[in-house]
Structure 1
Amino acid sequence: MRILFLGDIVGRPGRKAVAAKLGELRRSLELDMIIANGENASQGIGLSIKNARDLLDCGIDVLTSGNHIWKYQNLYPFMNTCERIVRPANVPQGAPGKGWTVFRVHDEVPVAILNLQGRTFMSPADCPFKCADRVLKEIDPEVKIILVDFHAEATSEKQCLGRYLDGRASVIIGTHTHVQTNDAKIFDSGTGFMTDAGMCGPTESCLGLTPKPVIKRFVTGLPQQWKVAGGPVELQGVLLEVDRESGRTLSIEAWKSGLMTV
């Protein structure tokens, strides 16, 4: 099973680049499945219902998210009914949407996608370690391929969850920092891991945003008006191959599209 996981899609530039490239990528990389984190796809923070539908229609099989998913309340009813979008499973009980889903690739092979949110330097959430324990018990044992999007700030927290779930999930991929890491690996019990997938957005930016307001926020400590940057766009993510029978990761690597103008 060949899967491409795309890092956080940032604003209109990220959406346009993804929509323009996905069909070609599915063919050239011989992909069975495409997953992407969409929590920053609308104006750089949040995900509107229109943009969610457009991303799913353009070829993304499942959208994961994170702490910014709550900005657009018009998305909430869609999250409750759509099986192809997930929010962190460890947010307080009663929140809209689902924390995990099962998607059947080619209407045949089931793949479970679990979304978790970190707690270090993040907004309040329940323990992701205990939540993962609970959800993994709920997933049908016949589902061998389990992918976890761990939306977290701290490298240490991401790596610890990866080690904690080694042998129980197929792969743990970190999101949220928008900076692609160079530490793709397979742990001893067959679980693939990478600290952060990066982002799909403008490269001449601060995490996809126009640099000046972000720099001014650091210098002055005062709130600023964020704006998605322009210029060249790059898609970043993780390319992996997973064994359909055992669920073990066979290969995993950081992936980039190269610069594009959109």
Structure 2
Amino acid sequence: MRLLFLGDLMGRSGRNAAIEALPGLREKLKLDFVVVNAENAASGFGTTSKIANQVIQAGADVISGGNHTFDQKDILSVIDNDQRILRPVNYPDPTPGRGYAVYDAPRGKKVLVINAMGRVFMNPLECPFRAVDAVLKKYRLGVTVHAVLVDFHGEATSEKMAMGHYLDGRASLVVGTHSHIPTADAQILPGGTAYQTDAGMCGDYNSVIGMDKAEPISRFLTKMNRERYTPANGEGTVCGTFVETDDRTGLAKRVEPVRMGPRLMEHLPEV
């Protein structure tokens, strides 16, 4: 199978870039399944049902989230009933929504997607390692599902790397989100799991992690909050992770970064 994960959609710039790119990426990379993290898609804070539907109509199969999942209250109207929209699995009960689901892919394949959130420098949620473990006790890669994709939304690179190694051999891809900077460590771990510490954001990279530069710089200089953070709205760059899996085992045969846009060195896998 060929899987694509796109990192955090950041504001109008990021969601427009992703929506424009997705149909072509599905065709060019011959994709079977696409997951997009959209937790910053609505003015940098959360997403809405309308935006989620636009991203799905453009070619995403699943929308994942993170610490901003519930910033837009509109999402509460759909997150319980639409299993294509996920929030981190380690939110406590009775948080609305779900943190994982199994989805149909072409040729009768089944894809398990798990969304989890780290705890280092983040909200004190339940243990993400145990939460993911509990899901993987129900599903086995290469036996009950053909692919397992884990979006681990976290601040600390150490926690993300620990999760990657912890799940090595049990997931097709473990990919980090939240940092908004694509890391250069896309690799296949010893047990066959594809891993990248952070897929990067889809957004305007002439910014401070997607936000207009003026207010973040001012806060660093003065330690004062003068205005709200607002997303930078220049031309967006699309960043993500491409994985090709073994049809028999579900483990990764190939992993490469995806970068399309004006600010970063472009890279598109050849298929």
Fold shared per TM-score above 0.5: yes
Using the alignment, how far apart are the partners of 1:253 and 1:194 within structure 2?
A: 9
Structure 1 unaligned regions, length at least 5: none
CA offsets 1:36-79 (integer angstroms, 9 cap, x no match): 10000000111112111211122111111100001112211311
Within-5 A mapping of 1:133-144:
133-139=133-139, 141-144=143-146
Structure 1 residue 107, shift from structure 2 partner: 6.7
2:11 is aligned to 11
Match of 2:242 in 1: 239
Contact 1:77-1:96 at 8 Å conserved across structures: no
Give the percent of matched residue pairs that are identical in Structure 1 and Structure 2: 41
**Residue 159 (str. 1) matches residue 161 (str. 2):** yes
Question: What is the deviation of 1:244?
Answer: 2.2
Partner residue, 2:118 = 118
The one-letter code matched in structure 2 to 1:147 is L
Deviation, 1:139, is: 2.6
1:64 matched residue in structure 2: 64
Query: Following the alignment from structure 2 to structure 1, what is the Cα–Cα distance between the partners of residues 135 and 77?
Result: 23
2:196 maps to 1:219: no
3-state SS of paired residue (1:82): coil
Q: Calculate the TM-score normalised by the size of structure 2.
A: 0.93
Residue 116 (structure 1) shift: 0.4
Asked if structure 2 preserves the Cα contact closer than 8 Å seen for 1:178 and 1:198, the reply is yes
- CA–CA separation in structure 2 for the residues paired with 1:77 and 1:244: 37
**SS state at 1:8 partner:** coil
Quote the Cα distance in structure 1 between the aligned partners of 2:67 and 2:179: 12
For residue 220 of structure 1, report the CA deviation from its aligned partner.
Answer: 2.0
Cα distance in 2 between the residues matched to 1:77 and 1:97 = 10
How much does 1:142 deviate? 1.1
Distance 1:38 1:258 in 2: 18
Matched, 1:199 2:187: no
Q: Is 2:27 aligned against 1:27?
A: yes
SS in 2 for 1:213: helix
What is the CA deviation profile of residues 114-166 of structure 1, one whole-angstrom value per residue up to 9, with x for unaligned ones? 00000000012111111111111123651131110000000000001111111
Query: Residue 130 of structure 1 aligns with which residue?
Result: 130
Alignment of 1:33-48 (within 5 A): 33-48=33-48
How many equivalent pairs are there?
A: 260
Q: Of the candidates 253, 258, 262, which is equivalent to residue 256 of structure 2?
A: 253
> Which segments of 5 or more consecutive residues in structure 2 lack a partner in the other structure?
264-271
Q: How does 1:72-91 map to 2 (within 5 A)?
A: 72-91=72-91
Q: Which moved more, 1:217-226 or 1:124-133?
A: 217-226
Match of 1:171 in 2: 173
* One-letter identity of the residue aligned with 2:25: L
Q: For residue 70 of structure 2, what is the amino acid of its counterpart? A: W
- In the TM superposition, residue 258 of structure 1 has moved relative to its aligned partner by 2.7
Q: Quick check: 2:11–2:233 contact (8 Å CA) kept in 1?
A: no
